[in-house]
Structure 1
């Protein structure tokens, strides 16, 4: 009887705490898990699934950060080893994800040879869409569910890796509605409460860093914007980073992919500090993947930025500079570890409608049959305006970044940090050549700005990581888009 009374008392305490959570605002914009769900319901869900009793920290700032990243294997030729990896883990059948272009190239051939050499059965899905949409994601999910697989291999760029992550997720949750895990407020933003099947990611572009992160991005066509799903359990078990796999990348693709690394680095380094983010999660399970700038992410992000500034121009200028290509591939991985835990903010938040609302722009160098704003282009095109806006919140960090671009900041005033960094980024972008110098060159006009703003506002998961999140308003976003029309 005493044990029963103790259990009843614990449950009453839990319900009291949940009531306390419910008495505060239900908005939790920083958390990928639930920014529109009622906190009481979140707590009930945790209890129902057998997790620890939530504790209310509704008005307290975060006090901790967590680091999560995939294991990484780097070296020329390591793609051949994936067959041994799946054999070692006892895989019964592997779902291999790639796109139509990579399906014809050496990286996939080597991966398949590795599987066959070890006698590991596999099924190939080569219809991944570059810059995936929810429809292409659902097609991949259907394939994986019907293929009877227990492991996943992604060989390709960020689109391939992200598609494989989501196919893995929904194969492990066969009864879930597609919107259950989609980031709030567009979806329900439910946490991923169990381990997924093993996923090995083999990047063939030097950009997204998706081989290290638990984030997957796609176009949600009903809202004409990009969104995604973010949770640590989505991250690959292993990222196989092989410099040989990026030697066939066209210069235009190297440039646009590298711009994603550039913005990953700067945004994560200038994000709100992790211990300024509120509210503190009620349960460690609910701590978001994107937590704000922290001492460990800072190291990865700033190192990646230095590598981008040094090696990306070399890659674009000389397709035969294999050393620079390998360094950019490493930079993408470094930045992935950095932003995968610290997060990104305005450049990425504003990029999603720029890609999702694109009607006719098709970037040079991409062998696709549909309009496309490559992700790196969509994030970088607003960067000069964004970092001019964010600099007053932390001028020291913005000047430190400007110095990496080669600017003499020894006599710079803090109030000039924004214009100084904005000019440095613009100069760097122009130096790469063939980059749109503002969103007007993507086909957007002033009359489009209200729609772009409305497409950005739902991206609260990243907007609230801006250095001064309370200043990110409908009006300030409109001004930023206007300033980004051209640079």
Structure 2
């Protein structure tokens, strides 16, 4: 077995009710708090107890370069020394990016891949506490922050182990209020982020363990969480699926689903998880076809069969059963096709060309030429 590295936050706190520990935790890390939250920044303000933030940033949608730049300036002017991000993946990515920029005295475009200068993040970030309120991106345990650059029509990442939060505090009870469509799109994103690292050529025994556990838990809980959001067991399973997917992707990379989704997300306004969900089965089918042609005896096909067994719960499941399960689940959760969220056929060639150059493609189990990527987009539309 080859050696491997494993990057995780300094501390992960998981369990129902653990959000109640936030008020006592934050003062041990800093006194001048930046609170990063969603549209209604007051919604989770009570979790901080008596701590009054010196600055508050509201993240109304997926974070842009300009939003993060403005938030960093506001936090710097307020003398912030700890960042608390409470919300979905967009909120957590904003908090992580701001904490890193404050620690380095830099601008988002200094570090962004592809659309920026790509300069490494050299110094530690300010302490950041990440508290997810959705089960999807696993951003509480990932070493990157995804920002949209409207100027370039792309999503790109600031990527560094310095972006790992100091503390990931995961309380499944905070996800009970997620509406069904958010549960569906974020939950399918979590499932994708377990599946892609599991079939990645950069997988290792540690990522295999968490990815497999995430696939198993997500497969059994996602429909229940969608149909009955008050089911605590389903919410706990989905929170673990998201957490495990974040750990897996941070250490074994993603694949063509996210390579395409990052480009699509820069062109159309649609939830990231919904875009991933629409692409999930077509990408799996394209990968399997390519593997059967080019590497039929390789490990990736065996891994897709293992994924099928984890998803279906059947020991006799084959690769096609896994793809069928994905299609049936996406349909049951009413995820719209890409065409319904604004991606047009005339976009397909541009998306494929840009996606082929994305960093996520390095984790795909087999290279997919642009023609194959166009076919995937057509099938997902």
Question: What is the TM-score with the length of structure 1 in the denominator?
Answer: 0.72
> Which residue of structure 2 aligns with residue 161 of structure 1?
92
C-alpha deviations, 1:327-352, integer Å up to 9, x for none?
A: 21122112111111111111001001
Q: Which runs of 5+ in 2 are unaligned?
A: none
Distance in 2, matches of 1:191 and 1:225, equals: 20
Once the two structures are TM-superposed, the CA of residue 177 in structure 1 deviates from its matched residue by: 4.1
Return the match for 2:112 from 182, 185, 189: 182
> Which residue of structure 2 aligns with residue 323 of structure 1?
233
Distance in 1, matches of 2:78 and 2:370, equals: 45
Distance in 1, matches of 2:362 and 2:368, equals: 8
SS at match of 2:140: coil
Q: Does 1:224 align with 2:224?
A: no
Seen in structure 2, the aligned counterparts of structure 1 residues 177 and 98 have a Cα distance that, compared at 3 Å, is: closer
Distance in 2, matches of 1:236 and 1:411, equals: 38
Return the match for 2:267 from 357, 362, 366: 357
Q: Does 1:78 align with 2:18?
A: yes
Return the match for 1:466 from 364, 370, 374: 364
5 Å-filtered alignment, 1:244-323, equals 244-272=173-201, 292-323=202-233
Kept in 1, the 8 Å contact 2:148–2:266? The answer is yes
Distance in 2, matches of 1:87 and 1:163, equals: 21
Q: Does 1:69 align with 2:8?
A: yes
Once the two structures are TM-superposed, the CA of residue 427 in structure 1 deviates from its matched residue by: 1.1
Seen in structure 2, the aligned counterparts of structure 1 residues 180 and 63 have a Cα distance that, compared at 3 Å, is: farther
> Which residue of structure 1 aligns with residue 311 of structure 2?
405
C-alpha deviations, 1:123-164, integer Å up to 9, x for none?
A: 242321321121212221111111101111111111111001
Q: Does 1:422 align with 2:352?
A: no
Q: Does 1:379 align with 2:276?
A: yes
Once the two structures are TM-superposed, the CA of residue 84 in structure 1 deviates from its matched residue by: 1.9
Q: Does 1:112 align with 2:9?
A: no
Kept in 1, the 8 Å contact 2:197–2:254? The answer is yes
> Which residue of structure 1 aligns with residue 355 of structure 2?
456
Seen in structure 2, the aligned counterparts of structure 1 residues 458 and 343 have a Cα distance that, compared at 3 Å, is: same
Question: What is the TM-score with the length of structure 2 in the denominator?
Answer: 0.92
Seen in structure 2, the aligned counterparts of structure 1 residues 400 and 82 have a Cα distance that, compared at 3 Å, is: same
Once the two structures are TM-superposed, the CA of residue 409 in structure 1 deviates from its matched residue by: 6.6
5 Å-filtered alignment, 1:425-444, equals 425-432=326-333, 434-436=334-336, 438-444=337-343
Distance in 1, matches of 2:178 and 2:255, equals: 28
> Which residue of structure 2 aligns with residue 141 of structure 1?
72
SS at match of 2:63: coil
Distance in 2, matches of 1:271 and 1:143, equals: 40
SS at match of 2:263: helix
SS at match of 1:69: coil
Q: Which runs of 5+ in 1 are unaligned?
A: 1-61, 273-291, 359-371
Name which of structure 1's ranges 448-457 and 218-227 shifts more when overlaid on structure 2: 448-457
> Which residue of structure 1 aligns with residue 39 of structure 2?
100
**Structure 1 segments (4+ residues) deviating >4 Å:** none
Distance in 2, matches of 1:110 and 1:78, equals: 14
Distance in 1, matches of 2:69 and 2:45, equals: 26
Pick the structure with greater CA Rg: 1
C-alpha deviations, 1:404-448, integer Å up to 9, x for none?
A: 232757385xxxx3x44322210121122x211x32222323222
Kept in 2, the 8 Å contact 1:76–1:242? The answer is yes
Distance in 2, matches of 1:177 and 1:203, equals: 25
Distance in 1, matches of 2:340 and 2:377, equals: 13
Seen in structure 2, the aligned counterparts of structure 1 residues 330 and 110 have a Cα distance that, compared at 3 Å, is: farther
C-alpha deviations, 1:365-390, integer Å up to 9, x for none?
A: xxxxxxx3111111111111111122
